[in-house]
């Protein structure tokens, strides 16, 4: 039972349908679509399109998408990989010849062909009830008529002022006289409204062919990119088979590589070798979580990439012997040193949302432009803000994630689902870029080891070991209660730059016929049902 004297929020509880997103306008849009007769995928696409306008620093049509769909709660889950590929003309050798040793955030080489629009159109065609023209209307209206900045959106915008000021289009779109606007200021994106209207009218071809594609290609090539119209016209995502493991008697599903869902499952496999307490502040449990994460992320860096370059990786990483070997490497007395290292990167921004409808169709949906406001590059006529996902590529020869032609980078964005008794019981996701795999495992541990409800599990403070180091970012409550003890064990504890990640989840209580939702207070959004 929640202590109503403590600050916080209650669980959302409803009977017919529910949506949980990181922005109130997005959640409301999803509910309105459900009440108008749309199903869960109609609501999810409508909601993420709205977020592409009102939460532009986290997502947009210039980014990528992954989704999982369970029709009527069946564990015959359909997963879609909507991540884009590099231009066919790009090679590691060509970038090296340009003098590059890494792909920078605002480089055109960080921009792969965006896959989100293809994914939205394909999923609506295959599973939706409403036409794209109807689904995109709320987003078009907000882009054209204006929307008020919410607190987290305004804060993220302020942190990226210098990035946005560097590009004429982003400066004109998001800044006011070169400065970040405050909470409550009204923004408009008329060029993006026109682009969304074209997609509503003509579908995916409006984005990947014709004037909009020409605008994107001309702009990126003008900056030195290798993109062509053929790269855009041939873009297509694909359905993939989910991967899974069992944790505390529940089956946990993730999308396969090039996403890092396999890393979340590996962390759970390592943790399953230990008996954890029901105390979310137990120092030994958090030590185990940190070390499981450090080991699993080291494996990720060495192995996870586009499946074309990483055959057999899932089987190896999820084998019982691999998880057992990593679990045996952990000691509660002292931090593991050394752990295989990989490049340290800051947290990235994404939106995750989930929807369950009256028929118990379940959607777990994630859409991202990677860093906050992505690359900071915007196509000037179409108003499309580009992601910077190509930063995840390596320029090291022979690395599984080596940049190359028509290749997808290792992705951090991962939608999840949990099942019990042969039915899906929870779509869930945790935002925060590289944190996401650990976030999935930590959320599930709080639910299944500590026995917490969704909202409490989401609310509790987080921590994240910076990849390749013994430095752990920890939110204030963990630093205050356990910082000294974790440092005694050899970890370096520091404050994060911003609150760590964000999460949404919906629990399906099949027996009582109700839905229970939680949404992260670190963002502006909410769970709402009817």
Show the 3-state SS of 52-95.
HHHCCCCCCCCCEEEEEEEHHHECCCEEEEECCCCCCCCCHHHH
- Strands in 64-70's sheet, in edge-to-edge order, are 238-240, 78-82, 64-70, 362-370, 349-356, 18-21, 526-529
Is residue 240 within 8 A of residue 255, CB to CB? The reply is: yes
Structure tokens at 352: 């995750």
Residue 209 to residues 115, 220, 231, 235, 379: CA-CA distances in angstroms? 14, 15, 10, 10, 15
CA distance 109 to 226: 8
User: 313-319: long-range contacts (C-beta < 8 A, 24 or more apart)?
Assistant: 313/257, 313/262, 313/400, 314/243, 314/256, 314/257, 314/262, 317/262, 317/263, 317/265, 317/266, 318/243, 318/245, 318/262, 318/265, 318/266, 318/269
| DSSP SS3 for 147 | strand
CA distance 505 to 423: 16
Instruction: Report the C-alpha dihedral over residues 130, 136, 139, 143, rounded to 10 degrees.
Output: -160
Any idea which residue has 């009527």 for tokens?
A: 72
Structure tokens at 360: 């118990």
Question: DSSP letter string over 400-462?
Answer: TTB--TT-PPPB----EEEEETTEEEEEEEEESGGGHHHHHHHHHHHHHTS---HHHHHHS--
- The 10 Å CB-count burial string (b at 16+, else e) for 370-400 is bbbbbbbbbbbbbbbbbbbbbbbbbbeeeeb
Q: Of all helices (H) and strands (E), which one includes residue 254?
A: strand 250-254
Structure tokens at 496: 């994060």
Active-site residue identified among 350, 469, 471, 498 = 350
Question: DSSP letter string over 293-318?
Answer: HHHHHHHHHHH-S-GGG-TTHHHHHT
User: 29-37: long-range contacts (C-beta < 8 A, 24 or more apart)?
Assistant: 29/138, 29/139, 30/353, 30/355, 31/528, 31/529, 31/530, 32/138, 33/130, 33/135, 34/355, 34/357, 34/358, 34/530, 35/530, 37/129, 37/130
DSSP annotation of 259 reads: B
Judge whether 86 counts as a catalytic residue. Answer: no
- Which candidate, 85, 83, 80, places its Cα nearest to that of 70? 80
Structure tokens at 358: 């009256």
Catalytic residues: 350
């Amino acid at each position: 039972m929640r202590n109503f004297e403590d600050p916080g929020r209650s669980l959302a509880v409803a009977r017919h349908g529910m949506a949980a997103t990181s922005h109130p306008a997005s959640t409301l849009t999803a509910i309105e679509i459900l009440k108008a007769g749309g199903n869960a995928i109609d609501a999810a696409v409508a909601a993420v399109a709205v977020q592409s306008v009102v939460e532009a620093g986290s997502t947009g049509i210039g980014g990528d998408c992954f989704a999982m769909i369970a029709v009527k709660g069946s564990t015959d889950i359909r997963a879609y990989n909507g991540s884009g590929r590099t231009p066919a003309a790009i090679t590691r050798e060509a970038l090296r010849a340009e003098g590059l040793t890494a792909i920078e955030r605002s480089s055109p080489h960080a921009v792969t062909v965006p896959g989100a629009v293809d994914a939205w159109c394909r999923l609506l065609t295959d599973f939706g009830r409403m036409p794209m023209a109807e689904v995109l209307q709320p987003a078009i209206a907000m882009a054209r008529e204006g929307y008020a900045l919410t607190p987290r959106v305004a804060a993220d915008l302020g942190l990226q002022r210098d990035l946005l000021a560097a590009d004429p289009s982003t400066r004109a779109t998001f800044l006011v006289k070169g400065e970040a606007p405050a909470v409550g200021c009204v923004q408009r994106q008329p060029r993006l409204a026109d682009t969304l209207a074209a997609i509503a009218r003509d579908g995916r071809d409006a984005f990947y062919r014709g004037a909009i594609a020409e605008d994107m290609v001309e702009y990126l090539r003008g900056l030195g990119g290798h993109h062509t119209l053929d790269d855009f016209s041939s873009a297509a995502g694909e359905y993939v088979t989910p991967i899974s493991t069992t944790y505390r008697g529940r089956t946990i599903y993730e999308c396969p590589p090039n996403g890092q869902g396999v890393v979340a499952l590996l962390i759970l496999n390592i943790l399953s070798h230990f008996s954890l307490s029901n105390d979310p502040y137990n120092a030994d449990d958090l030590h185990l979580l940190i070390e499981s994460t450090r080991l699993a992320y080291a494996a990720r860096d060495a192995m996870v990439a586009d499946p074309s370059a990483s055959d057999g990786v899932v089987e190896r990483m999820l084998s019982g012997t691999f998880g057992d070997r990593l679990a045996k490497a952990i000691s509660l007395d002292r931090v593991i040193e050394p752990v295989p290292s990989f490049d340290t990167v800051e947290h990235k921004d994404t939106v995750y949302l989930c929807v369950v409808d009256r028929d118990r169709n379940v959607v777990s949906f994630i859409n991202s432009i990677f860093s906050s406001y992505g690359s900071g590059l915007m196509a000037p006529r179409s108003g499309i803000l580009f992601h910077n996902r190509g930063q995840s590529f390596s320029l090291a020869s022979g690395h599984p994630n080596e940049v190359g032609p028509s290749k997808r980078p290792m992705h951090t964005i991962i939608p999840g689902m949990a099942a019990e008794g042969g039915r899906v019981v929870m779509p869930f996701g945790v935002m925060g870029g590289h944190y996401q795999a650990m976030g999935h495992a930590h959320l599930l541990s709080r639910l299944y080891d500590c026995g917490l409800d969704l909202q409490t599990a989401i609310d509790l403070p987080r921590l994240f070991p910076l990849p390749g180091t013994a430095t752990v970012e920890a939110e204030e409550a963990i630093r205050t209660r356990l910082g000294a003890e974790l440092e005694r064990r050899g970890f370096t504890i520091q404050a994060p730059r911003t609150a760590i990640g964000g999460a949404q989840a919906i629990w399906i209580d099949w027996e009582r016929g109700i839905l229970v939702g939680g949404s992260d207070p670190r963002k502006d959004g909410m769970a709402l049902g009817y």
